[in-house]
Amino acid sequence: MGSTKKTKIKIKSKKKETKKEKFSELRQDLISGDWVVIANSRGKRPDDFKTETKVSEKSSVESCLFCDPVASGQEKDVLIYNTSDDDWSLRVFPNKYPAFARPTGKIQHKEEGPYFWMDGLGYHEVVVTKDHFERIGTMENLKVAEIFDAFQTRYLDLMNKKSVRYIEIFHNQGKSAGASIFHPHSQLVAIPVVSPYIKLELEGAERYYKANKKCVFCNIIEWEQEKKERIIFENDRFIALCPFASRRAFEVWVLPKKHMPYFERMETEDKIQVGEALNEAVRKINVVLNDPDYNFYLHTSPCDGKDYSHYHWHIEILPKTSIWAGFELSTGIEISAIEPEKAASALKKV
């Protein structure tokens, strides 16, 4: 009987592929100390944040309160810019329904039991550009520079008013961002107190300066220029970037490269270049997110006569990509569903 040679058949066992688990990250804002959650685990892509196409609001031109402010009964202009053909390009007037009434006397402080309050007096103005449809992001850069010139002009006047301690400059674009009127406009509110959020930034910047002998914002700019991960635009004087601890998907900051604590001390060239930087940042956001509603606001040193040489003024742009829910409301910790690095990469490509 012949022997049979058995051959062993080697069966290659397939290794079970394990998907690399993505963890969310808790990142801390270097200035305010606030924590944010970067929810990598949700696996969101830039396209996931695109807004739906909006219903046209062109029909609102006829009844627009800002196309002809005089005819619609707005308050008298405190500043107006005229064009060469004797038309206006920008005007500033007091808000018809102000959050803070103009003071006519001394602000009264009151107490009752454990509570304390004061008169809500201040100045609330509206900055309106002429064109009903032309918004920041679609304007010529010099038109945005003109807006900043108006901001500065009104700031310099309001900062010298009695009892004004801080002036907030902000812009709401779209209904979900709080804009009750379609026509593009910004607002200035001069108030007798410094807000808690500004105080957080001021204290954080001062603490960092004392520990490192350097402005925290300047340090951030230097690091971002070295890493080149989160910068979306820069010119000679300004830089636009997605902050490391972004509170919201596609948040962008615009900062002067040179250390500048006080917004109101801008030079003419600063206004031209910040206009370009803001215009480009908003344009990129509009393209990537399909023209979302957004807010931007300007943070600068208070005008209360104190020294804030450790601070650095800047603009923060926040697209409406999320809504606060239970976690955010109960903790104050915001959740961003995409890494700022991914957001910056998408914005840079525009």
| 134-191 pLDDT tens trace | 999 999 999 999 999 999 999 999 999 988 999 999 999 999 999 999 999 999 999 9
Q: What is the mean pLDDT of the chain?
A: 90
**Domains, the chain, with CATH or none:** 25-52+69-348 (3.30.428.10)
Q: Worst-scoring range by mean pLDDT, 43-57, 70-84, 157-171, 236-250?
A: 43-57
On the question of pLDDT at 256 being above 90, the answer is yes
Distance of CA 84 to the CA centre of its chain: 33
Interval 235-255 mean pLDDT: 97
pLDDT digits (tens, 9 = 90+) for 87-137: 999 999 999 999 998 888 888 889 999 998 889 999 999 999 999 999 999
Let me know if 26 is exposed, middle or buried by CB neighbors in 10 A (0-12, 13-18, 19+). exposed
Helix axes 268-289, 141-158, angle to 10 degrees: 120
How many angstroms separate the CA atoms of 236 and 245, rounded? 25
Q: Bigger pLDDT: 43 or 187?
A: 187
pLDDT value, residue 43: 58
d(C-alpha 58, C-alpha 179), whole Å: 16
What b/e readout covers 141-156, taking b as 16+ CB neighbours within 10 angstroms? bebbbbbbbbbbebbe
* Choice among 81-95, 139-153, 238-252, 320-334 with the minimum mean pLDDT: 320-334
Distances in Å between the Cα of 240 and the Cα atoms of 151, 221, 263, 284, 306 are: 20, 10, 16, 11, 28
Mean pLDDT for 199-203 is: 97
Residue 197 has pLDDT above 50, yes or no: yes
pTM: 0.89
Supply the pLDDT for residue 11. 43
What is the predicted pLDDT for the residue at 103? Answer: 87
Query: Which range is least confidently modeled, 6-15, 96-105, 223-232?
Result: 6-15
Question: What is the CB neighbour count within 10 angstroms for residue 198?
Answer: 18
Q: Is the pLDDT of residue 41 over 90?
A: no
